[in-house]
Amino acid sequence: NYSLAQLRQADAAHHLHPFTDHKDLRAAGSRIVSRADGPFVYDMDGNEILDGMAGLWCVNVGYGRDELAEAAFEQMRELPYYNSFFRCSTPTPVLLAKKLAEIAPDGLNQVFYGSSGSEANDTALRLVRHYWALEGRPEKNRVISRDWAYHGSTIAGTSLGGMAAMHHQLHGAVPNIVHVMPPYAYELAEAGESDEQFGLRAARALEEAILEAGPDTVAAFIGEPVMGAGGVKIPPASYWPEIQRICRKYDVLLMLDEVITGYGRTGAWFAAQSMGIEPDTITTAKALTSGYQPLSALLVGDRIATALVEKGGEFFHGYTYSGHPVACAVALKNLEIIEREGLIERVRDETGPYLGQALREKLGDHDLVGEVRGFGLLAAVEIVKDKKTKTRFDPVGRAAGLVRDHAIANGLMMRAVNDTMILSPPLIWTKETIDMACERIAKALDLARRDLQG
């Protein structure tokens, strides 16, 4: 048993954290979260914090689910590990693949497993390029993505992503990936442009990029249905139908990254179903196990799967933990809980609409709030200096950083992306939990305004 001080000291001495300025971390000391239950996490300083981020957009069924621990325990005792290479399998990845084919949008019937969303996108990139090679068109291998996209942290994930700061540190991207504008109306719509017009214009940036590159060189377009880590950028309703039309017109495959939106967050199993999108691949991870085990599933459409099976020979790709039996056992139980408790219907009919409405009603008039937007249990609050002109505070990120710090100090875990505040709570939140979160955000906004004026 180690004391909090000893853990902090060892953390600073030995542990390099993801996405962290280590000088800052060492100066402040890390928050050590040691326990969680339902919608709350508990740190070793004795704080109870409502988890507005579901961990990292993943703990959809909330914390403290003994059933998931038991599923892992039983599977570990029965068979902790065996691989799915060279014509072997174990039962749970098979049963999970069958279940995923049942709940996936029509036409996505095959699954390739990994342990993370980054690995799944890496697989997806290889697979779509391989598909065109199998079709005798290896020159069709460019992939179009979007600025602000987040598709993971491997070299392929970072190259697919559109985060400027990450590209800066990439020192050699995967070639043949280009980026177009995201459907971010709050900053990119022109004066007088309706949401619908902006959505069409943003989608047509894809068409322009395809025509510029030459349709014969473009393999696929990849996008998150709602951009998550880029700031919960919710596209206008006109955007995805137009993207779909353009992809069909130029025979460009449509890859959806549903690592955040998958498994109920938007009020359907997948956002493709909420939004009527018909993709060729869907990348999923995170809430597949509600974060209780690392697992990703790339859902593969019939067109690609058929070519792979019939023309592919061996696909030289895979991970030691592809189809890990314990992770798959936990995923099966997690999907059962989501279904049994009606969590998707709750998001669709009750908490999803209520989250957007409550945030708008309770925070929309605050001086610091430029816009509130929500889709299912994903929401964003834009922090601005001037609501009318949408001017931000200087430097970028300071204001939202203050709101985040005050929110956490007041018992609500939120995330700040530049000057956008993010919420992505567990699907077990009720209207009462949403009200509690709104009160804590309101207080954090008042405190941040005081700091910014002082």
Binding site for ligand PLP (CB under 6 A): 56, 116-118, 121, 150-152, 224, 228-229, 257, 259-260, 285
CA distance 314 to 413: 46
Cβ closer to ligand PLP: 114 or 370?
114
106, with CB counted inside 10 A (0-12, 13-18, 19+), is: exposed
Closest-CA residue to 352 (of 428, 267, 425): 267
Cβ closer to ligand PLP: 154 or 273?
154
CB of 159 to ligand PLP, least distance (A): 13
CB of 452 to ligand PLP, least distance (A): 29
Residue 223 gets which letter from DSSP? Answer: E
- C-beta separation of 390 from 187 below 8 A: yes
CB of 217 to ligand PLP, least distance (A): 25
Q: How many helices (H) and strands (E) does the chain have?
A: 18, 15
Cβ closer to ligand PLP: 259 or 444?
259
Closest-CA residue to 263 (of 241, 234, 296): 296
Closest-CA residue to 109 (of 315, 309, 253): 309
CB of 117 to ligand PLP, least distance (A): 2
First to last CA, the chain: 43
Cβ closer to ligand PLP: 379 or 445?
379
Q: Write the Ramachandran bin of 390: left for phi over 0, alpha for psi from -120 to 50, otherwise beta.
A: left
Q: What is the largest CA-CA distance in the chain?
A: 68
CB of 123 to ligand PLP, least distance (A): 12
Closest-CA residue to 271 (of 127, 441, 57): 57
CA distance 333 to 67: 7
Cβ closer to ligand PLP: 257 or 419?
257
Question: Which residue of the chain is nearest ligand PLP when measured via CB?
Answer: 117
CB of 453 to ligand PLP, least distance (A): 34
Sheet of 412-413: strands edge to edge?
A: 33-37, 40-43, 48-51, 412-413
Closest-CA residue to 173 (of 151, 154, 187): 154
What is the residue-wise DSSP string for 146-189? Answer: ETT----SSHHHHHHS--HHHHHTTSSPPSSEEEE----HHHHP
CB of 240 to ligand PLP, least distance (A): 16
Report the SS3 class of residue 416. strand
Cα–chain-centroid distance for residue 35?
24
CB of 289 to ligand PLP, least distance (A): 11
Closest-CA residue to 355 (of 225, 229, 266, 264): 266
CB of 224 to ligand PLP, least distance (A): 5
Residue length of the chain:
454
Cβ closer to ligand PLP: 152 or 370?
152
CB of 377 to ligand PLP, least distance (A): 15
Cβ closer to ligand PLP: 331 or 402?
331
Cβ closer to ligand PLP: 189 or 243?
243
Cβ closer to ligand PLP: 151 or 265?
151
CB of 312 to ligand PLP, least distance (A): 25
Closest-CA residue to 334 (of 64, 60, 48, 18): 60
